[in-house]
Structure 1
Amino acid sequence: MTYGTIATWRMAHEGVIKATELLKKQKSAGDAVETLINRVEAYPYYKSVGYGGLPNEQGVVEMDAAFMNGDDLAIGAVAGIQNVKHAVSVARKLSKLHFNSFRVGEGATRYAIQNDFEMVNMLTPRAKKIWQNRLLEIQEKKLDPYDGHDTVGAITLDQQGSMAAATSTSGLFMKKPGRIGDSPLSGSGFYVDSEVGGAAATGLGEDLMKGCLSYEIVRLMAEGRTPQQACDQAVYPFIEKLQKRYGKAGEFSLVAMNKAGAWGVATNVEFTFSVGNDKQVPVILMANPGPDQTTCIEPITQAWLDAYEKRIKAPIKSL
């Protein structure tokens, strides 16, 4: 039977491996995507998601996450939640509610506490040092404070034909308190329909929200486009529109998978992602914008992997 998963960035790869193992054992798409995102949330060296994620300008880690069930279209989401180790798990539980399924700030955190989710100080010593260094750079060198806005977003398809989508992020580094990006917003950060397929986004939320690209990709797949055609046709014309009418376009990338396990990607930057299905073991690939509004995809090299591991684990020195 067909199954598969696709997720944004190199950081998702170990989660994709685990999710694929679960799907092979006929576990549900929901369980697989939650497990995938949990793996990323718990790893302290990923600076844009979960534990070890970089904080807002006041040194507080505010997390956004969402979960969507492709069978019944149920959605749960949290935004600005604090001190919760697995924000996506809170979002999934909220998806089972008809009312009050999207909660923000103190209300989201209180719900997590009341429902016995694991609570922890999400600001690690490493992330705190990076934040302190950035404060000094802003003051002394007049640098732009904003840096880093990568979301882990994933789509899963199980052997029963059910699909799920989920996202998690600590958001824009040095963001203003209360800032929310696209990641917890259906249609922008994610969308999935088990009768068609799903998509998930990563990048600058303020610009992604202008296009509702995740929904647009699913809509195009419903009209008969392959996932790759849908990604290309949704993303690249929108980038041109944004540049023409808004004057600029931030960095963003999207991944998609349809109900048959086929997948696609589109991006306006160098972008890594991980994908696996019943025909292909999980692999990390690199995507770049290609000619004529297409996407170039190729395997990453061992040298790239080695450099990546060295970079994310490099000691942080105080300025």
Structure 2
Amino acid sequence: MHSRRFFIKKIGLSTLSVGLFTTASQAFSFGTKAKSNKPIVLSTWDFGLKANEEAWKILSQGGRALDAVEQGVRLTEADPEERSVGYGGRPDRDGKVTLDACIMDENANIGSVAALKNIKHPISVARAVMEKTPHVMLVGEGALQFAKSQGFLEENLLTEPSEKEWKEWLKTAKYEPVVNIENHDTIGMIALDAKGNLSGACTTSGMAYKMHGRVGDSPIIGAGLYVDNEIGAATATGHGEEVIRTVGSHLVVELMRQGNSPQKACEEAVQRIIKFTQKRGKTLDNIQVGFIALNKQGEYGAYCIHGGFNYAKYDAKGNELIKGKSYLKNNG
């Protein structure tokens, strides 16, 4: 009996030793594979290249991802040539330029504004909402009142080219957004800084000639943008109603939580939108949605419905524009 008990005890200790060795080996192996690609910043569309350069000035100096994404998208907001974001953005059907934006940091602090008029940098107003109020979203006149109280100056955002286009549109007043043109309506930016923290920002003037008061996905945390500092971050562009329907950016992050790569998570989220669209008896002809995603290791991915979507990536290898993979191959 003694020898049998000794044998079992010996076998148990041997098994435990092997198990501990295996676990230690796996931990070492996983640690080697998990070397992060940081800092890194991603942003939607070709105007993301210039925005990335602005963000990289902060990231490359060891700065915070939150500061990088705010400064990055501010560049696009201030550019009158970018007709779907900020100053120079296309107006609603009543000729009013209304802006939406949100921002989220590594600690799940969030701020948002919607239907904001006459303020060039809604992303900075959104950050002020996050940092200086007990709320997470302000809209319309209330958002404007708050912005002015924080020192933001009112100015006319409707430029002559955008006004001219709007007046031409009024001749028919047909609301038929064109994929990758009027739907090309957002800059979303997500970043991982040198400390391994994630943040994101999203800002837009919304769909051209929308109904006055319409709000899309861009200022809605979980739809247009979501950040989970344990997992990753995602942002969306395109047809906001469809992104809201699936809480798209949150969906992408949760798919990454389940073990999917950023690329696979974006693909699954787009497939969900396609499924919902088809269930409602709608076609994909005029619906474009694209996602970009970034995980804690600095791995990234993107996917969209129609071809023609692209995104910018800036890391230690440089700044480059990448063609997004798509479900449909047309329009691009």
TM-score class, shorter: 0.7 to 0.9
The alpha-carbon deviation at position 145 of structure 1 amounts to: 5.3
Task: Work out the CA distance in 2 between the residues paired with 1:119 and 1:86.
Answer: 10
Q: Percent identity?
A: 35
Distance 2:188 2:78 in 1: 15
Counterpart for residue 200 of structure 1: 235
Question: Given residue 303 of structure 2, which amino acid in structure 1 is its aligned partner?
Answer: A
CA displacement, residues 192-244 of structure 1 (integer Å, 9 cap, x when unaligned): 01111100001111111111110011011112211111111221243133223
Q: 1:175 to 1:238 in 2, by over 3 A?
A: closer
* Secondary structure, counterpart of 1:95 in structure 2: helix
Question: 1:272 aligned to 2:307?
Answer: no
AA aligned opposite 2:54: K
2 CA distance for matches of 1:245 and 1:40?
35
Report if aligned partners of 2:119, 2:155 keep a CA contact under 8 Å in 1. Answer: yes
- Whether the 8 Å CA contact 2:242–2:273 is kept in 1: the answer is no
Q: Deviations over 1:153-183 (max 9, x none)?
A: 1101111111111111001111111110011
Cα displacement (A) at 1:99: 2.2
* 2:301 counterpart SS class: strand
Gaps of 5+ in 1: 297-303, 305-319
Aligned to 2:251: 216
Any conservation in 2 of the 1:83–1:119 contact (CA below 8 Å)? yes
Residue from 263, 274, 286 that aligns with 1:228 = 263
TM-score, with length taken from structure 2: 0.82
Match of 1:184 in 2: 219
What is residue 154 of structure 2 aligned with on the other side?
Answer: 119
Matching residue of 2:322? 285
CA deviation digits over 1:250-276, x for unaligned, max 9? 211010111111101010122011011
Distance 1:56 1:98 in 2: 29
Q: In structure 2, which of residues 291, 305, 310 is the aligned counterpart of residue 254 of structure 1?
A: 291
Q: Secondary structure at the match of 1:10?
A: coil
Give the gaps of 5 or more residues in structure 2.
1-36
The TM-score, its normalising length taken from structure 1, stands at: 0.86
Which residue type is aligned with residue 321 of structure 2? I
Rate the CA distance shift 1:275–1:118 in 2: closer, same or farther, 3 A: farther
Displacement of 1:97 in angstroms is: 4.5
2:48 to 12, 30, 33: 12
8 Å contact kept, 1:86–1:118: no
Match of 1:52 in 2: 88
**Closer, same or farther in 2 for the Cα pair 1:98/1:72, shift >3 Å?**
farther
8 Å CA contact 1:146, 1:175 repeated in 2: no
AA paired with 1:15? A
Tell whether 2:104 aligns with 1:68.
yes
What SS is found at the alignment partner of 1:201? strand
Which residue of structure 1 lines up, in the alignment, with residue 175 of structure 2?
144
Distance 1:54 1:191 in 2: 26
Query: Match of 1:52, SS?
Result: coil
Once residues 241 and 206 of structure 1 are traced to their aligned partners in structure 2, the CA distance between those partners, rounded to angstroms, is 12
Indicate yes or no: 2:112 matched with 1:77.
yes
Q: Which amino acid aligns with 1:88?
A: I
Moved over 4 A (4+): none
Distance 1:109 1:152, change over 3 A: same
CA RMSD in angstroms, aligned pairs only: 1.8
* C-alpha deviation, 1:21, in angstroms: 2.8
Structure with the greater alpha carbon radius of gyration: 2
Query: Per the alignment, in what secondary structure is the counterpart of residue 209 of structure 1?
Result: helix
Q: Is the 2:51–2:72 Cα contact (8 Å) retained in structure 1?
A: yes
